[in-house]
Structure formats: structure tokens, C-alpha cells
Amino acid sequence: MDLTKGLIIGHIKTLAIPSSIGYFFHTMFNVTDTFFAGEISTQALASLSLSFSIFFIVIALSGGMSQGVSALVGNALGQEDTKGTKQLIYHAYIFAFFLAIFITLIALASAPFLLKVLGAQEAYFEEAYSYISVVILGACFFVGVMFTNALLNAIGDTKSFRNFLVCGFVLNIVLDYWFIKGGFGLAPMGVSGIALATIIIEAFGMFYLFYRLFQTHLLEDMPKFVFDINIIYSFLKQGLPATTNMVLMALGMFIITYYIAPFGKDVVAAYGVAIRIEQIALLPSIGLNVAVLAIVSQNNGAKKYERVKECVMSAQKIGFYIWVIGLVFLFAFSKELLGIFTNEQEVIKAGIPYLYVGALSLYAYMLVFINIALLQGIKQPALLIYLSLFRQLIIPVLVFSILSYFQMPLLFYWISIGAFIWLSAWFILWYRDKKLAALGL
């Protein structure tokens, strides 16, 4: 799809709607896991929540680097550099192969330590580790899915990923039920069954998306492969800031879990359930992120900077209207949404204030996601490292340490999380305006 022509608002809708629908089913995939873990026990639910921050690191490493691939391929397409685009594709898969090995080895080595740091002991530890160890062994499939989808996104195809995620959601319900309950010669597997179902579905997704990529023009008339270390360097330069941002998001979840763990398993479980619900509310912002990255990348490559600015402003306007709807929905139905996953009143009681704060912060998340996509699309992603360091690591550790020292109530932790994201949104808007001014806008 040529995103350098036609109505910007039309392109945003064409790309964002399938992407948002797909990520809705991806989130429902996670919600399904949470639901079945809750059916096993509160400890199983807490174990899944405890493992999620480590799981997210696996996603972050593959997802961040793949965003760099999408931005570079999009720029090459905008420049109509066919030969360069195809060499980027070759190098993307070489890069993905070694990245998968790196993620697997690092995650396997660090997972036991990280779980113990979060307070997992004895049966609690065993249950959490039985889940995350299986997920880590399937890291190659997550990387394959992310990189292939990045190439599809660069040409404006967000429907293939949507189709995979919809099918994956349905299949996950079947496999979770079967693997947890047992039957047809299979013994009940507990939370490790949830992880195995995830890996099987990711493997299916990787092969399906690669099949879809083969049907596009990207792989037509591929030239002879010529290794170029500069292309690998460009992937690192473009992908590391995005990867660091996503890894620090995972680390931020780890930090939050660490500081709220002393409040008990009910609070950890509440946090795990609440962030799943929050993810549903954030789905449109993810769709806007995907759309903005694809549109900005192609138009930046074509040097159509007015369209770059129009894209960002249009996306922010759409995001504001979506925020108003999400705000009302979360304030009205927080208790009922939490009640879908657990009947434990203490878990629900701890989760409601988090969702209220999350509702007030939805637009800040949207502003951050949209403008991160802009910076990636114009090949200026370096800010993401510093912004993430402050938002996810330095400020939370400082503030939460103070709250912990003075033994402040849980609500103060939730409010602080909302404050962190709003500060980040204000800062990235200021930085965005400086970069647009440099383009003469």
C-alpha cells in the first residue's frame, strides 16, 4: 500500500482498525489465560501475574527490534529503493535468528533469580517457574511473529496479523481448557499447560504470517544476498531505543510488582488482572501506534513532511475521542470487569483504584504511543531510552522507595503510576515539537 498518497485520515483508519481488532483478541488471549489461571487457584493467578513481567521482557526484546525493522523498511519503500528494501529483509531474518538465541539463553538464566526477587518461594515459585520456563523455550516463535509482522506493517498490511490473533484467541480457549483439565490421554498440566498453549499458537502464527509475506511483492525477484554490517548496525541504531523502551516497560512492571508484593498475594493478583483490563482500554492506542509508524515512515522516506505532521495531529484527535469513551467505561464498570476473573473481594477491592487511575491516564498513554511512533518513523528514536529510564526505572524506584519507607497505603502507588505517564506525555510533546520544527513544520 502506498501511504504517501491519499487521505491521511483514511490511511489511519485502514491501518489502525484491523490492528486494534487484532490486539483486542491478543489481549483477550491473555485474559483467557488469566481466567483459566483463576479457575485453578488464587496462587496460580498470582503466579501468572508474577511471571508476566518476565514474559513481557521476551515480547519487548522481539517487539522493539521489529519496530526498527518496520521503520527502516517503510522509509526504504517511501524512497522507492527496491534493492535496498530486499536487502533489509534478508538481514532482518538473520538478525531475528540470533536475537531469538540471545533471548532464550538470557531469559532461562535469569528467570529463577527474578522470580525469587519478587518473593516467590516454594510452591509459589514452582508454579510461576513452570509457566515462564515453557514460554522462554518458545521465544523463537515470538521473534518470528514480530519480525514478519513488522515487514507486513511496513507495506500497510495489518489484516494478516489481525486474522492470526483472532484465530489464536479461539484456539487458546480450546487448548487452555484441554491442557489444564486434561483428557484424551493427556494429564492435567496446570499453569504450564497455559504456557504450552501459547507456544503452540505462536508457532502457528509465525508460519501463517510468513506465508502471507510470500504472497506480497516484498519477496518477488529477490536479489543475491550481500551481507552488510551497516544494515545490522542500522537495525541496532533504530531498534535499540524501541527495545530499551519496551524492556524498561517490562522492568517497570517488575518494579511495581516488587514494591506491591509486601501487600500480599491478593494485591499482586489484583495488579495482574487490572493490567489485563487496562490493556483492553489501551488497544486503540496500539492501533494508532502501528498506523502512525507505517504512515510516517513512508512519508518521511518520500520527504513529504506536511503529511507526517498531519498524521500525528489526526491520530491525537482520534485518540482524544477514544479516551473519553474509555474513561466513562472504566469508571462505570471496573468492579464488574474485575469480577469476571475473580470472586475474591480483596482482589477486587485492590484492583478498582488502579483502574480508576488508569482511566484518567489513558490519553497520556495514547500521546506517548503516537509520538513514539512518530520519532521512530522519522528515524529519531534516541529519546525513548532516556524517557523510559526516567519513567520506568529512576522515578518509580525513587518514589516507591519513599512510599515504602513511610509505609504509605496502596492507593499512593497507583496514583504515582498515573503521574509518571502524564509527565512522560508532556515531555514527549515538547520534544516532538522540537523535531517537527527541525523539519520546517
Instruction: For residue 261, give the DSSP letter.
Output: G
Which residue is associated with the grid cell 495482574? Answer: 272
At 116 the pLDDT is 81
Report the C-alpha gap between 344 and 256 in whole angstroms. Answer: 21
229 occurs within a structural domain: yes
Q: Which of 108, 393, 91, 427 is nearest to 239 (CA)?
A: 91
- Give the pLDDT means over successive 10-residue stretches in the chain (441 positions): 86 89 82 78 70 72 82 87 89 91 87 78 77 85 92 88 92 90 77 87 94 88 88 86 76 86 87 83 86 91 91 94 91 90 86 94 93 88 82 92 94 94 92 82 67
2 occurs within a structural domain: no
Count of domains in the chain? 1
Q: Which of 117, 110, 109, 70 is nearest to 92 (CA)?
A: 70
18 occurs within a structural domain: yes
At 291 the pLDDT is 92
Q: Which residues contact 2 (CB under 8 A, 6 or more apart)?
A: 298
Q: Which of 150, 156, 158 is nearest to 68 (CA)?
A: 150
Which residue range forms the structural domain that includes residue 382? 8-438
At 120 the pLDDT is 67
At 244 the pLDDT is 80
3 occurs within a structural domain: no
**Long-range contacts, 413-416 (Cβ 8 Å, 24+):** 413/256, 413/259, 413/260, 414/353, 414/354, 414/356, 414/357, 415/357
1 occurs within a structural domain: no
173 occurs within a structural domain: yes
Q: Taking the mean position of all CA atoms in its chain, how far away is CA 128?
A: 21
164 occurs within a structural domain: yes
- The answer to whether the CB of 356 falls within 8 A of the CB of 272 is no
At 279 the pLDDT is 78
- The answer to whether the CB of 241 falls within 8 A of the CB of 19 is no
At 53 the pLDDT is 66
149 occurs within a structural domain: yes
Cβ neighbours around 81 below 10 Å, total? 15
DSSP per position, 200-220? HHHHHHHHHHHHHHHTSGGGT
Q: Which residues contact 339 (CB under 8 A, 6 or more apart)?
A: 348
At 418 the pLDDT is 94
